Amino acid sequence: MKLREIAGIIGGRILGDPDIEITGVSGIHEAKPGDITFLSGKKKSFDLSVIKASAIIAKEEIKGLALASILLVDNPYLAFAKALELFHKKPYKPSGISNKAIIGNNVSFGNDVSIYPLAYVSDNAQIGSRVSIFPGVYIGEGVIIGDDSVIYPNVSIIEGTRIGSRVTVYSGTVIGSDGFGYVPVNGTYYKMPQVGGVIIEDEVEIGANVTIDRATTADTIIGFGTKIDNSVHIAHNVKIGKHCIIIAQVGISGSVEIGNGVIIGGQAGVIEHIKIGNDAVISAKTGVTEDVPNEQVTSGYPSMPHKTWLRAQSNLRKLPNYIKRIQELERRAGIDSDKK
């Protein structure tokens, strides 16, 4: 594919040879002649003379600084993602319903589905068009899966779950297991029935080994366009807004409400019954113990505004010196701190 053809699809302006042949896409360190690669920064952050690619996707600022042809774009990451799709995304070819899949009664299928061997689809499930369900998947009774969704091997989707269109769920994930609800009774625990469901809205992506619990009543909700990394736990009755990013090993307790555009860093934890506002950022390993306002960046345990946390960390490193200074002052004053 010629560079001008790529530019016509993903956008941008060419600086150099528009007819150069592009045969692949690669990272900047691995790129070879025939490849197109990308550079997100300026020349000062990378030696452009060592790039062997035939073309570079880059921002306007680096034009004229490299030997390769350049495709000038506003967002190199986005353009690179589209280039990868051009060369690596295979067109969907439906395989139909395998005779080795187990299909319950009164199951409805849309057009051009792919149901692979050893998938289990329970009674009354509704599967949309162009849905792929891979081996080892369990689909519970009455589950709804929208068009163009992909369910990878060994996913369990329990009854009472509704999944929208263009949703991707990776291997090992469980959606709709019981929420962790128990009533203490005389030193024992009585299980609270979990009779709600789970709603996964359109264009959500759920990583491997994620657990999303059904609600006690009503629904646990994952909003439109939200992306969830591997090994995240989302408890019962949680409501997550649109276009959120939740990174690996996050734990979200029951009945938490998360606004739109929220980013939660890896290994953060959120206690139950709090609210996180729109466009808030929760830094990695933060323990969120109170409501977070819109657009606030929060860090630490217990959680606090990020700037406050930075000052606290700075002061923490100075504590040994402060202690020595106080001890010296006490010595001069004749105070025995051990007897205080």
Q: What is the tally of structural domains in the chain?
A: 3
pLDDT digits (tens, 9 = 90+) for 69-95: 889 999 999 999 999 999 988 889 999
Query: What stretch of H or E contains 183?
Result: strand 182-185
Predicted confidence at residue 65, as pLDDT, reads: 56
How far, in Å, CA of 324 to CA of 239, rounded?
Answer: 49
Does 68 share its domain with 169? no
- What's this model's pTM, rounded to 2 decimal places? 0.85
Long-range Cβ pairs for the range 44-48 (8 Å, 24+): none
Residues 6 or more apart whose Cβ sits within 8 Å of residue 214: 158, 160, 161, 176, 177, 178, 179, 194, 196, 197, 198, 220, 236
How far, in Å, CA of 269 to CA of 290, rounded?
Answer: 11
> What six digits make up the tokens of 312?
């606290």
Q: What are phi and psi of 190, to 5 degrees?
A: -100, 125
Last residue of a domain, one of 55, 88, 121: 88
Last residue of a domain, one of 53, 88, 123: 88
Task: Give, as one character, the DSSP assignment of residue 101.
Answer: S
Q: Hey, CA dihedral for 222, 223, 224, 225, is it positive or negative?
A: negative
Residues recognised as catalytic: 236
pLDDT digits (tens, 9 = 90+) for 91-144: 899 999 999 999 999 999 999 999 999 999 999 999 999 999 999 999 999 999
Q: Which residue ranges of the chain lie beneath pLDDT 50?
A: 44
Q: Which domain holds residue 42?
A: 3-88
| CATH number of the domain enclosing 216 | 2.160.10.10
| CATH number of the domain enclosing 50 | 3.40.1390.10
Does 182 share its domain with 277? yes
Q: Are 210 and 167 in contact (CB under 8 A)?
A: no
Does 102 share its domain with 30? no
Residue 57: Cβ within 10 Å count: 28
Predicted confidence at residue 113, as pLDDT, reads: 98
Predicted confidence at residue 44, as pLDDT, reads: 47
Predicted confidence at residue 139, as pLDDT, reads: 98
Does 14 share its domain with 63? yes
